[in-house]
Amino acid sequence: MALPATDAVQAISFLRHLFKPYTDGFIEIRPLSKHNPVHANRTTYRIPECLKGEAGQALSQHIISLAMRGYDVYVGVCPRAAPEGPGRKLGKESIEYVGALWLDLDSKVPGSSQGLLDNCDIVVSTGNGWHGYKVAPTPMRVTSTKERTAVEAKVRSFANAILPGTDNVANVDRILRVPGTINWKDPDNPKPVHLLKGGGMKPTYKESLVVAEFGDSRLDALLASAKAGELGHASFGTLYRMP
CA angle 127, 65, 32 (to 5 degrees): 55
Nearest to 35 by CA among 6, 63, 70, 10: 70
Query: In the structure, what pLDDT confidence band is assigned to residue 214 with cuts at 50, 70 and 90?
Result: very low
Q: What pLDDT, on the 0 to 100 scale, is given for residue 237?
A: 53
CA distance 239 to 218: 35
Q: What pLDDT, on the 0 to 100 scale, is given for residue 33?
A: 95
Q: What homologous superfamily does CATH list for 8-240?
A: RepB DNA-primase, N-terminal domain (3.30.70.1790)
Domain boundaries in the chain? 8-240
- Terminus-to-terminus CA distance in the chain, angstroms? 52
Q: What pLDDT, on the 0 to 100 scale, is given for residue 44?
A: 97
Cα Rg for the chain, rounded, in angstroms?
Answer: 18
72-100: pLDDT as tens digits: 999 999 999 999 888 788 899 999 999 99
Mean pLDDT of the 142-167 span: 96
Task: Please name the helix (run of DSSP H) or strand (run of DSSP E) that holds residue 159, with its range, or none.
Answer: helix 145-162
**Has residue 168 got a pLDDT over 50?**
yes
Q: What is the pTM of this model?
A: 0.83
DSSP 45: E
**Has residue 243 got a pLDDT over 60?**
no
